[in-house]
Amino acid sequence: MAQFHQTNQGDRTPSNQHKPRTHKPRTHKPRTHGPRTVLLDDEDLFHQAVSIRGLSLGWDKVWRNKGAAGGDGLGVEVFYKDARGWIGRLRRSLLSGEYRPGPLRVVDIPKKNGKGLRRLEIPCVSDRVVQSSVAQVLSPHFEDEFEPDSFAYRPGRGVTQAVARVSAAQRAGYNWIVDADIRDFFGSVEHSALMERFGESVSDGPLTSLISLWITHAAPQGVGLAQGSPLSPLLANLFLDRLDERFFGRNVRFVRFADDFVIMTKTRERAEAVLQQTESFLAQQGLSLNMDKTQILDFDQGLRFLGHVFVRSLVTKTAPDDRAVGDIQQWMREIARTDTIREKDRKLEQAREAQQRRAGYSPGFRVLYIYESGRRLNFRNKSFTVEEFDGPAAETAEEPGKAGRWTELIAIHNTRVERIEIGPRASLTLAARDLALATHTRIAYVNGHGETVGWTGPVLAQRAGRHMAQAACALDEARRIDLASRFVEGRIRTQRAVLRRLLRDRDRPKAAIDALVVFNRILGRGERTVLRHCKSVSQLMGYEGEAAAVWWPALSALLPTQMQFGKRTRREQTRDGANTVFNFLSWLLHRDITVAVGRAGLHPGFGVLHSAGDNRDACCFDLMEEFRAHLVGGLAVYCINKKIVTRTDFTKVSGGVRMGNKAGGALIRAYEKRVARLVKSPRSGRKLCWRQLMLEQAFAIAAHVDGAEVYRPIEMGY
């Protein structure tokens, strides 16, 4: 249109002004509203969008929509409490180039026709604020380019106007219809083609880079738009504007609503030709028609479009179309209402736990260790007791005869004990075992190396649905790789964080620096981490192995010379003290994780990074990944450097070394002190002890396999 041509008359030569114009009707191309001859200034649009006014308008729209929380779990109410602060921080990060989008929340919702599911990918509230601002800045400019034949997501246009346009075409004699359906449109938009079309309207600059960042973050493979993003409808209209232009003024009537469209002609032959043209044109854009749903018909047969039925000259409204009335926004509000209910339940549970703690009851986070020779577990008045045998032959203390007696050391009510560990030199009475079974208290039997040799406890939780969901996730290769990559990324990120902490205020050995270089290369920045693009679990395991190959030498270099080790060994009998400490702490962590996995209703044997197998706790090993660096590697280095355990605590035996009882007790105390520390949960923002964090992450895995949210590993900086 004329408004997009340059108006500087100095650019026109006299010969251009007076040159005679000839028209060739057969080859004349109808004038459309685009593309532009003068591009919009990218930088100017960017600064409008990231201004305080622009971001405030974006926040107003997000607040009015009352949508659900994104992948970070923070809802609109959280943003509302400090909206001005959030907007200021967003603006600064955008202007400095430090802005990175947060995790998307993936939710599958049923289509209204009951056939299949539609996947929503919901950005974080802060990201939606910026995207809404960008959409509001771009929309008036793109409106000038869009053709009058599209009706979705545009001001002053909607279903009513689209229905009227179809009725008018029927009255004008356009009785034959191509009823078209694009196959998986939002999942098929090629980023390169979309950005090429964007470049026909906007110059290159920071706004172009920001939009490219968003679409790549949502679909790293380079194809697809996130349904749930406030910007996706505008980008969808921009991408399909080429289709609108293709049929504008072509002696047909074209009506498009998002990715649904009809083309009306006066003859069947013309409709068939138009269908072939449509197929060919969409193929050039990387799209295709779903031929099972695409058809040619006339108004005598009846057309169903946008929740209406058109039969001859009659139009009847039926059930609303799932894409015609803001269905996505309605679902996001419904998800938000569900989130609110869950949050209320969580706060009630917190209040209940606080009341119980004031009463001296701390469920889920008390472990009773009985490792010493001559001690046993017994019970009295619904309490577990620890007794010590006073007399000779304490090692065979179940039937000591008259030579001695049992003395009660402590009594703990069963409600205050989550787990009991029985060492190889301790024992328990049948009455204590029966109380544990009756109260669902798990008992772990541990050998002299700290390994778990068996359990007494309740049967596997009757959560068949969740176990099936775990199995489905493990058997779906794409889902398995996605979740496995999160575990590997969590492990390497925590290894890097712990190593950085250990290097504070001390010499930095070359092995530690080399390890940080490898970690940084694997993790990259944001979506550039190679882990997000792995095609198989074995490829992920390769990166995990590469990180482990530098992690253990780095830890060894941080130990006193006499405690350094050549390589990591996990055999029952190790050849050095450091590996013995690593193994002992690993089994303590494994038992904690096993309890957390059970409480979350997960099957311990169904893993994704670690393959399922008989007598293999694959799910427990998966969850352990992100905790190992904190509670095994880092804690072991701390204990050895602080002389909590020393070289003298280990004695040489055939084939290796054995750790003494005193050192085992010291490690248990150090482990308990560490897991009792309060840390800020990256997911909920609450102050939790480490065992609570394990439980929270176990429930996060359950929510992931159930499809309720996307799993995020813990990430802590030091």
CATH of the domain at 375: 3.100.10.20
d(CA 486, CA 625): 10
Residues 244 and 126 in one domain: no
Residues 691 and 548 in one domain: yes
Compute the average pLDDT of residues 432-448: 88
Residues 140 and 162 in one domain: no
Place of tokens 């798990």: 442
Q: How high is the pLDDT of residue 7?
A: 34
In a domain, 588, yes or no: yes
State the residue range of the domain holding 125.
39-145+205-216
Q: How high is the pLDDT of residue 112?
A: 60
* pLDDT per position as a tens digit, 222-281: 899 988 899 999 999 999 998 988 888 778 999 999 888 999 999 999 999 999 999 999
Check whether the bond before 35 is cis (ω within 30° of 0): yes
In a domain, 714, yes or no: no
Alpha helices in 248-297, H assignment, sequence order: 268-284
* pLDDT per position as a tens digit, 107-164: 877 766 556 677 888 899 999 999 999 999 999 999 888 988 899 888 888 888 999 9
In a domain, 567, yes or no: yes
d(CA 207, CA 218): 17
Residue 47 is assigned to a ligand binding site: no
* pLDDT per position as a tens digit, 78-115: 899 999 999 999 999 999 988 999 888 888 777 665 56
Give 714's pLDDT tier (boundaries 50, 70, 90).
Answer: confident
Helix axes 42-49, 206-218, angle to 10 degrees: 70
Is the pLDDT assigned to residue 201 strictly greater than 50? yes
Compute the average pLDDT of residues 686-694: 86
Query: Domain ends where: 291, 320, 349?
Result: 320
Residues 380 and 415 in one domain: yes
Residues 309 and 179 in one domain: yes
Most confident of 23-37, 430-444, 525-539: 430-444
In a domain, 234, yes or no: yes
Is the pLDDT assigned to residue 16 strictly greater than 60? no
The angle at the Cα of 588, spanning 449 to 666, to the nearest 5 degrees, equals 75
Query: Domain ends where: 281, 298, 320?
Result: 320
Q: Could you tell me the maximum CA-CA distance found in the chain, to the nearest angstrom?
A: 126
For the chain, how are helix, strand and coil distributed in percent, rounded to 5?
Answer: 50, 15, 35
Most confident of 341-355, 617-631, 652-666: 617-631
Looking at 45-49, 186-190, 412-416, which range is the least confident one? 412-416
Residues 311 and 378 in one domain: no
**For residues 687 and 627, which has the higher predicted lDDT (pLDDT)?**
627
Residues 137 and 235 in one domain: no
**For residues 65 and 130, which has the higher predicted lDDT (pLDDT)?**
130
Residues 530 and 655 in one domain: yes
Report helix, strand or coil for 541. Answer: helix
204-208 contacts, C-beta under 8 A, 24 or more apart: 204/42, 205/41, 205/42, 205/43, 205/46, 206/42, 206/43, 206/46, 207/42, 207/43, 207/45, 207/46, 207/49, 207/134, 208/42
In a domain, 7, yes or no: no
Residue 451 is assigned to a ligand binding site: no
How many beta carbons lie within 10 A of that of residue 203, not counting itself? 15
Residues 499 and 559 in one domain: yes
Q: How high is the pLDDT of residue 13?
A: 34
Compute the average pLDDT of residues 651-656: 84
- List Cα–Cα distances, 578 to 5, 632, 669, in angstroms: 75, 11, 17
Is the pLDDT assigned to residue 439 strictly greater than 60? yes
Provide the CATH number for the domain around residue 619.
Answer: 1.20.120.920
Looking at 10-24, 118-132, 448-462, which range is the least confident one? 10-24
Number of domains in the chain: 4
- List Cα–Cα distances, 540 to 182, 455, 519, in angstroms: 35, 32, 14
Q: Are 599 and 613 in contact (CB under 8 A)?
A: no
Q: Is 306 exposed, middle or buried (0-12, 13-18, 19+ CB in 10 A)?
A: buried
In a domain, 641, yes or no: yes
In a domain, 661, yes or no: yes
- List Cα–Cα distances, 60 to 227, 336, 450, 590, in angstroms: 20, 17, 57, 47
Residues 491 and 637 in one domain: yes
Query: Domain ends where: 436, 456, 476?
Result: 456
d(CA 421, CA 591): 9
Provide the CATH number for the domain around residue 228.
Answer: 3.30.70.270
Residues 128 and 104 in one domain: yes
Residue 544 is assigned to a ligand binding site: yes
In a domain, 33, yes or no: no
Residues 133 and 243 in one domain: no
Give 440's pLDDT tier (boundaries 50, 70, 90).
Answer: confident
Q: How high is the pLDDT of residue 269?
A: 92
